[in-house]
A = this chain, B = another copy of it.
Amino acid sequence: MAEIPQDTAPTAGWMDGREHVLPVRIYYEDTDFTGVVYHGNYLRYFERGRSDFLRLVGVGHSALLEKSAAFTVVKISLEFRKPARIDDALLVRTTIDSTRGPRLTFHQTIWRAGEPICSAHVEAACIDMNGRPRKPAPELIAALAPLID
Contacts and interface: CB of A to CB of B under 8 A. Distances in A.
Interface residues of A, number: 58
Interface stretch (A77-85, A100-108, A138-146): A77-85
B44 A43 contact: no
Number of copies: 4
Nearest to A81: B74
Contacts of A21: 8
B70 A87 contact: no
Given A9-B89, A113-B3, A72 B28 contact: no
Given A11-B11, A55-B87, 9 more contacts: A1-B87, A1-B88, A1-B113, A27-B47, A33-B61, A40-B43, A40-B44, A77-B77, A77-B78
